[in-house]
């Protein structure tokens, strides 16, 4: 999320910023997100929003909020539907927030892309350019898988990453007898 004005954080919603460069492990980045605690997202501050599914209203406020130093999140809030973001001239790397079959994470953009109104993206120094994917955690709450074990996947106690029991395991990542297994 990104707005030109400071907005209040509605009840049931948490907003997080990224202020430190991700740690790297096995070619995957792990980014720690820090929660904004004072109830106000400052103006022109990119954040990741975390909430249960539902409708929430972010109202403009006269409170300025605490300015977040070194926030790696950027964004766009303007008059048009979107803004074209080109490759950075400073050799930094842009990542977009997306959800796919493996979960929610940041994906590296190796070309220009569109950032839509009131959306944020992640901009990192070139030192992490090797990472195609950046997992993130909320205040030590892991959302990505660091290491997995290879093994045979049996269907009697096999679940996908959404917690759904599967009849027949395909290639991918599964929870088998409480352990993460890659097939």
pLDDT of res. 151: 40
Pair 146, 28: CB distance under 8 Å: yes
What is the pTM assigned to this prediction?
A: 0.70
Residue 51: exposed, middle, or buried by beta-carbon count in 10 A (0-12, 13-18, 19+)? middle
- Residue 128: is its pLDDT beyond 80? no
Task: Give 6's Cβ-side CA count (13 Å radius).
Answer: 14
Helix/strand/coil for 127:
helix
Q: Which comes out higher in pLDDT, residue 137 or 44? A: 44
- Residue 125: is its pLDDT beyond 80? yes
In the structure, what pLDDT confidence band is assigned to residue 110 with cuts at 50, 70 and 90?
A: confident
In the structure, what pLDDT confidence band is assigned to residue 178 with cuts at 50, 70 and 90?
A: low
Query: Which tens digits make up the pLDDT trace of 50-105?
Result: 999 899 999 999 988 778 888 999 999 998 999 999 988 888 889 898 877 767 88
Q: Which comes out higher in pLDDT, residue 139 or 53? A: 53
């Amino acid at each position: 999320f990104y707005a030109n004005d400071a907005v209040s954080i509605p009840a049931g919603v948490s907003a997080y910023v990224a202020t430190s460069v991700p740690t790297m492990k096995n070619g995957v980045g792990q980014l720690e997100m820090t929660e904004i605690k004072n109830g106000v997202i400052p103006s022109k501050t990119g954040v990741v929003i975390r909430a249960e599914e539902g409708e929430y209203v972010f109202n403009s406020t006269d409170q300025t909020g605490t300015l977040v130093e070194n926030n790696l999140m950027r964004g766009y809030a303007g008059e048009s539907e979107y803004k074209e973001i080109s490759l950075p001239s400073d050799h930094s790397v842009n990542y977009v927030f997306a959800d796919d079959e493996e979960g929610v994470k940041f994906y590296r953009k190796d070309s220009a892309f569109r950032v839509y109104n009131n959306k944020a993206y992640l901009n990192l120094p070139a030192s992490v350019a090797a990472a195609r994917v950046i997992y993130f955690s909320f205040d030590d709450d892991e959302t990505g898988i660091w290491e997995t074990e290879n093994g045979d996947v049996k269907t009697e106690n096999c679940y996908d990453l959404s917690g759904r029991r599967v009849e027949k395991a395909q290639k991918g990542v599964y929870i088998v007898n409480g352990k993460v297994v890659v097939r």
